[in-house]
Structure 1
Amino acid sequence: DGTLEIMKSIKSRNPEKVEVVNVPPDRGKSKPRALNYALDLILKEYSHPDYIFILDADYLLSPRAIRTLVGILENAPKYVIGVQGNVRPRNWNRNFVTRFITLERLVGYNVAIEGDLKLNENGKYGGTVALLRFPYVIKLGKFTPDAVTEDTDLWARALIEGYRFWYYHGVIGWEECVETMHDYIKQRSRWAQGHLQVMVNYYWSVLKNCSTIEEAFIEHFYMMSYLVPVFWFLSVVLNGYMILSNITPVYRNSWFYLLVSLMAFLVFWISIAYANWIEKRRHGFGVQWWFVALYPLYFLIFVMGGVIYTLRGLLRLLAGRFYWEKTRRFT
């Protein structure tokens, strides 16, 4: 796609600041392997830096973004391994799918990650727009080569060793999100497989190394989050079988469970509205309010999408198919 030639052109204009690395085939084929190759080059050829900055190729940053993150990490406690920046789709208004993904991002960062940071000083690592302490990453053994989601894998191993990630909403990386339902399911299948892989490998170790019961409680749900669509699917299958077989359910007060489900949905809907509101207040960015208001009319489409991509990821994990699937780009 011309990436190598473009980077060589940039290097020719900035020879002292830019180094172009062409990863050999035997060291690439996945993001963690390519990252490890770059880390090995740094260890071998350059004076060891204090920090490394991870950024996916489709992202755009403000000129002072890295300086801002360096300033935060320089003043952070030594147990902070890195600072995760904000992520927003720059093609957010392209269509129905991109608007929904934007709401996912807003809730994920403004509610889940920021909330976890404020409660337990335990943000997350998203694999991009992130400044990491180079010596700590080396001490952890770099990135796990066969990890499908190397970011979640590093987060888990860092937590086990006593490190924590911070999050700062003021540095925004503008990504290009996928624009079709097919690519959404394909990308999320990889995310689901990688997350479930981390859950299988580190679940108990993560819980045992949480600093408080509250932190363990939250990280339990974070580790189990990709099983929620599986449980939802199984409940539909089980209830459908009971209805068709005319089996009387064990529970009698069905209205109570319906009310609890409705309340849970309303809480999540409110959290979406809050995430959109706080982003507009901070950065003047957000999805149209009519799209937020209509959430109950389209959320089931993405619930079904969640069932599909989670089951795909789970089946791949059980089959031992560990490969890194590249996301399709649209520009």
Structure 2
Amino acid sequence: MADILFHISLTVIWIMLLYHMFLAQGGYRHFKRFEKVIPDWQHKMENMDLPTVNVFIPAHNEDVVIKQTLTAMSRLEYPKDKLKVILICDNCSDQTKEIGDQFAADFPFMKVIETEDEYKGKGKSSALNYALKETNGEFIVVYDADNTPQRKALWYLVMGLVNDPRAAAMVGKFRVINAKNTWLTKFINIETICFQWMAQAGRFHWFKIATIPGTNFAIRRSIMEKLGGWDTKALAEDTELTIRVYNLGYHIRFFPAAITWEQEPETLKVWWKQRTRWARGNQYVVLKFIGRIFSMKQKKIAFDIMYFFFTYFLFFFGVILSNVLFVVNLIFDIQLSIGNVAFVLWIMAFLLFVTEIMITLSIEKNQLTLKNMLYIIFMYFTYSQMWIVLVIYALTLEVKRMIKKEDQVWYKTERF
């Protein structure tokens, strides 16, 4: 029985590894092709009446970073008579609003609003819904309060929506601005690059599926109004929104020409809280939609829900099961005949993990370095294993919340 369970867990792990290698191939192909459309798209933009755009920046006590964020917003290349940058102060008790007011006084296309009544103090989704109610721009662009988008980031997001009428949303690329600060941010930098070029670009290339992130994306107002805004119960409001957008019959395009830089956690405590929220949010999405996959209008999104189910349930279950069986076999004789074949499979899995990440890093300038290669190896035995413990912890919290019918508590990532 132990042998059967061990081989089942190895099979699950290998399916996931091979699938990510497949995505890495698609990500590399998307990298080679995505810029080819820009000249034609640019020409169309230059000969049309551009749409009005609202930039939403939800903020709760962000005075540590908001000045640099608003400075980046002031430099965005888009006609200012078509642009309104809106800082959404949600129950702020620091200097966030005062800093925003200073920018609004200097830049007429900037505005500060404060959440009120039932929208106040309820988190990011509620703040975005309040801004949605108070504005009327044709396109909505969302940036987190720690983001510094490049000058043409918004232009590229709008360009994508204008030229792709079947796209409900356009997703850009984000990079880690504090990547060199700590060992943790070095790992997160590698993780971020892999997520975008493997999970995002790979899925879009092969299946025309991409996930809306929490920042650096544009979406049509008509879509948001049809969907009734953001789900305030979802900790991963971006993933949840993705599923509903696809169910309307649209697609989401990954367009990495639009680049923003964001700050990542520099301490393990902050990372743990942020990633727990992410894991719980994605588990919530899986549990919310898993029973509806056969009734959805876009059948391919059912495939993506199964991908999240595989990632946050089956894959981690397989890793945990194989590790537990291996350790127990060292203490008690459970007649686990691992043998040379299993050992070779483990070595090959490790090499495949390293190869996938190296292929992905080769896409980003100055990232495929000897130092990063060493970090990848170290990452496998440390950072990747931390995720296993975190997902178990997150699932425990989510099951507890569902049983006790508790409200979701939104956690704001601490800034540095």
| Structure 1 position 156 matched with structure 2 position 243 | yes
Pairs within 5 Å for 1:167-316: 167-206=254-293, 209=296, 217=303, 219-227=305-313, 228-249=315-336, 252=337, 254-280=339-365, 285-286=366-367, 288-316=369-397
TM-score by length of 2: 0.71
| Structure 1 position 66 matched with structure 2 position 154 | yes
Contact 1:233–1:307 (Cα < 8 Å) also in 2 = yes
One-letter amino acid matched to 2:334: I
- Measured at CA, do residues 187 and 148 of structure 1 come closer, stay the same or move farther in structure 2, by a change above 3 Å? same
C-alpha deviations, 1:186-210, integer Å up to 9, x for none?
2111100000000101124346648
Inter-partner Cα distance in structure 1 for 2:279 and 2:193: 19
C-alpha deviations, 1:248-285, integer Å up to 9, x for none?
13xx56433333333233222112112211111xxxx5
Contact 2:357–2:376 (Cα < 8 Å) also in 1 = no
Contact 2:280–2:398 (Cα < 8 Å) also in 1 = yes
C-alpha deviations, 1:226-255, integer Å up to 9, x for none?
233344223322433344331113xx5643
Inter-partner Cα distance in structure 1 for 2:342 and 2:242: 35
Q: Identity over the aligned pairs, expressed in percent? A: 27
Q: What is the aligned residue count?
A: 316
Inter-partner Cα distance in structure 2 for 1:105 and 1:297: 17
Contact 1:110–1:275 (Cα < 8 Å) also in 2 = yes
Pairs within 5 Å for 1:5-24: 5-15=98-108, 17-24=109-116
- Measured at CA, do residues 206 and 5 of structure 1 come closer, stay the same or move farther in structure 2, by a change above 3 Å? farther
Contact 1:99–1:287 (Cα < 8 Å) also in 2 = no
TM-score by length of 1: 0.88
5+ residue gaps in structure 2?
Answer: 1-93
Match of 1:98 in 2: 185
- Measured at CA, do residues 292 and 91 of structure 1 come closer, stay the same or move farther in structure 2, by a change above 3 Å? same
Contact 1:83–1:130 (Cα < 8 Å) also in 2 = yes
SS at match of 1:260: helix
Inter-partner Cα distance in structure 1 for 2:123 and 2:224: 18
- Measured at CA, do residues 257 and 160 of structure 1 come closer, stay the same or move farther in structure 2, by a change above 3 Å? farther
Contact 1:36–1:142 (Cα < 8 Å) also in 2 = yes
Inter-partner Cα distance in structure 2 for 1:207 and 1:288: 45
Contact 1:53–1:130 (Cα < 8 Å) also in 2 = yes
5+ residue gaps in structure 1?
Answer: 43-47
SS at match of 2:148: coil
User: 1:33: how far off?
Assistant: 0.9
Pairs within 5 Å for 1:20-35: 20-24=112-116, 26-27=118-119, 28-35=121-128
Range with greater deviation from structure 2 (127-136 or 58-67)? 58-67
| Structure 1 position 147 matched with structure 2 position 240 | no
Match of 2:74 in 1: none
Match of 2:8 in 1: none
C-alpha deviations, 1:294-318, integer Å up to 9, x for none?
4223422113311222122111111
Contact 1:160–1:206 (Cα < 8 Å) also in 2 = no
Inter-partner Cα distance in structure 2 for 1:218 and 1:136: 20
Match of 1:130 among 198, 217, 220: 217
Contact 2:142–2:215 (Cα < 8 Å) also in 1 = yes
One-letter amino acid matched to 1:277: S
Inter-partner Cα distance in structure 2 for 1:160 and 1:202: 11
User: 1:177: how far off?
Assistant: 0.5
- Measured at CA, do residues 294 and 77 of structure 1 come closer, stay the same or move farther in structure 2, by a change above 3 Å? same
C-alpha deviations, 1:80-100, integer Å up to 9, x for none?
110111011111011211110
User: 1:166: how far off?
Assistant: 0.6
Range with greater deviation from structure 2 (140-149 or 264-273)? 264-273
User: 1:14: how far off?
Assistant: 2.1
Match of 2:133 among 29, 40, 52: 40
Inter-partner Cα distance in structure 2 for 1:212 and 1:107: 26
Contact 1:185–1:305 (Cα < 8 Å) also in 2 = no
Inter-partner Cα distance in structure 1 for 2:174 and 2:209: 18
Inter-partner Cα distance in structure 1 for 2:201 and 2:294: 20
Question: Once superposed, what is the RMSD of the aligned Cα atoms?
Answer: 2.2
